[in-house]
Amino acid sequence: MTDAATTAAVRQVAPVRSRYGWPAGVVIVATLGSLMIFHQLWADPAHLALGGPRHTNDPIQTMWNLKWVPWQLAHGHNPFSTHAIYYPDGVSLSWNTLTPTLGILAAPITFTLGPPVAYAVLMTLAPVLAALTGWCWLRRHTTSPAAAALGGLVVGFTPFITGHLQGHLNLVFVALVPVMLMLFEDLLWRRPRPHPRTAVYPGLAPRRRPESARS
């Protein structure tokens, strides 16, 4: 390969590395941090509820929710009500922290490896995805990818998230919040607007004389 061809290849690869290198770095660092937090949970996810005896109820309920939603849908039943609790009257789960979307997304893991493993996967991914989407949002507002990466990690491991990593899956899975912020920004002020003269032209068009009238 000639020097010119090598230089051209490097120039083509460099933007790709620059574009995906920083978010990949955020994911790697956030994953390592999340695994450090949940190393005890991953030691035995089937029998260990993170947080000790005082925090066993929430993880167990979350695991039950993760299996209940896809099981009900697979059998054609309503996932927002159950008679398995307070039988025979039952209870409405629409008032509960059911997390139906997470239950559907984690269904393959839940039905193959069990709800505890699905719970461990989702809890581990929650800070990672929050850090990644936080980086995407902050990258819009700074020219420094390093600053956006640092801010994304702060988003992924805020005191709010780390304080609820003891079992509140419904509270720590906030990866969609930065995505919602980006959508609102696009809707309110980042959406491309027409040039001012473009808005004036329709008003001036009726005042133009037709070509036949000019002759």
Q: Specify if 169 maps to a domain.
A: yes
The answer to whether position 212 is within a domain reads no
208 domain-assigned = no
* Domain assignment of residue 198, yes or no: no
Instruction: Label residue 201 by pLDDT band (50, 70, 90).
Output: very low
Does residue 180 lie within any of the structural domains? Answer: yes
Question: Is it the case that residue 118 has pLDDT exceeding 50?
Answer: yes
Question: What pLDDT, in 10s, does the model give residues 165-181?
Answer: 877 888 999 999 998 88
- Closest listed residue to residue 45, CA positions, set 110, 127, 131: 110
Mapping DSSP to helix (H, G, I), strand (E, B) and coil, where does residue 91 land? Answer: strand
Classified as helix, coil or strand, 162 is: helix
- Cβ(126)–Cβ(171) below 8 Å: no
* DSSP class per residue in 99-114: -HHHHHHTHHHHHHH-
Q: Each residue of 139-171: pLDDT tens digit?
A: 989 889 999 999 999 999 999 988 888 778 889
Q: What is the pTM of this model?
A: 0.74
Least confident of 28-32, 33-37, 55-59: 55-59
Does 2 fall in a domain?
no
Neighbour-count burial for 98-108, b at 16+ CB within 10 Å, e otherwise:
bbbebbeebbe
Domain count along the chain: 1
First CA to last CA distance, the chain: 67
Residue 109 and residue 124 in contact, taking contact as beta carbons nearer than 8 Å:
no
Determine how many CB atoms are found less than 10 A away from the CB of residue 123. Answer: 26
Would 121 be classed as within a structural domain? yes
**Do the domain assignments include residue 1?**
no
- The model's pLDDT over 49-103, given as tens digits with 9 standing for 90+, comes to 544 455 567 888 888 899 999 999 999 888 888 888 888 888 888 888 888 999 9
- What range defines the domain where residue 95 resides? 22-190
